[in-house]
């Protein structure tokens, strides 16, 4: 919670202090689909990512009046060392496929195959570069409308706006 939630909250706070006088800005945080869909992670992880989504929604409403967009990227599954290590079994550990704490190529491929099987967009593997490209888009002038959107809300690069935010006219 200290890193995930407090770190994001402090980042937003200090970015807003600089952006409010300028009347423009874009703040992007990273959560996880686990923060909007139950059952995808441990309780502490899920709670911290859910807190980031809530903080993003609230901050978007608060800072929108100053011309500042606040969005959150919530990826599904990336075959990162953290995810691969979380899914390792005792037999995997006994094989000691790790290389200086990093998963070996076979473990990454196995995890990518697993995640690809759960994805909405069949045949597509979500990679870190995809998340970086989503952030670049959200930070660009091309995306002047999205505010308090969770990217991606679906399991891959889909989006879904927050109905409460739209209903109240925020993020328009």
Per residue in 126-160, pLDDT (tens digit) is 888 889 999 999 999 888 766 655 544 333 333 33
First to last CA, the chain: 31
Q: Which domain holds residue 162?
A: 2-76+139-167
Q: How far apart (Å, rounded) are the C-alpha atoms in residues 45 and 30?
A: 13
| Vertex 158: Cα angle to 15 and 52 (nearest 5) | 35
Per residue in 74-132, pLDDT (tens digit) is 888 787 777 777 777 655 554 556 555 566 777 878 888 887 877 767 777 888 888 99
Q: CATH number of the domain at 149, please.
A: 3.40.50.720
Better pLDDT: 95 or 10: 10
Among candidate residues 9, 8, 10, 28, the one with its CA nearest the CA of residue 68: 28
Q: Which of 45, 66, 137, 170 is catalytic?
A: 45
Cα 106 → chain centroid: 25
What pTM does this model have? 0.72
- Told to judge if 45 belongs to the known catalytic residues of this protein, a careful annotator would answer yes
List the helix and strand counts (H, then E) for the chain.
Answer: 7, 3
pLDDT for the residue 121? 72
Q: How far apart (Å, rounded) are the C-alpha atoms in residues 53 and 41?
A: 15
Q: Sorting pLDDT into bands at 50, 70 and 90, what band is 56?
A: very high
Number of domains in the chain: 1
| 139-163 core/surface letters (b: 16 or more CB in 10 A; e: else) | eeeebeebbbbbbbbbbbbeeeebe
Residue 102 lies in a domain: no
């Amino acid at each position: 919670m200290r890193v995930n939630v407090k770190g994001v909250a402090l980042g937003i706070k200090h970015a807003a202090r600089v952006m409010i006088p300028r009347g423009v800005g874009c703040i992007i945080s990273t959560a996880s689909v686990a923060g909007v869909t139950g059952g995808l992670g441990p309780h502490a992880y899920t709670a911290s990512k859910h807190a980031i989504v809530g903080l993003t929604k609230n901050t978007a409403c608060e800072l929108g009046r100053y011309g500042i967009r606040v969005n959150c990227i919530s990826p599904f599954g990336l075959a990162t060392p953290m995810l691969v290590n979380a899914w390792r079994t005792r037999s995997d550990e006994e094989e000691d496929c790790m290389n200086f704490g990093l998963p070996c190529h076979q473990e990454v491929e196995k995890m990518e195959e697993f995640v690809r099987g759960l994805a909405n967009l069949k045949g597509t593997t979500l990679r870190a570069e995809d998340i970086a490209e989503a952030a670049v888009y959200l930070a660009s002038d091309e995306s002047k409308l999205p505010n308090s959107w969770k990217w991606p809300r679906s399991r891959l690069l889909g989006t879904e706006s927050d109905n409460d935010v739209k209903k109240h006219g925020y993020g328009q």
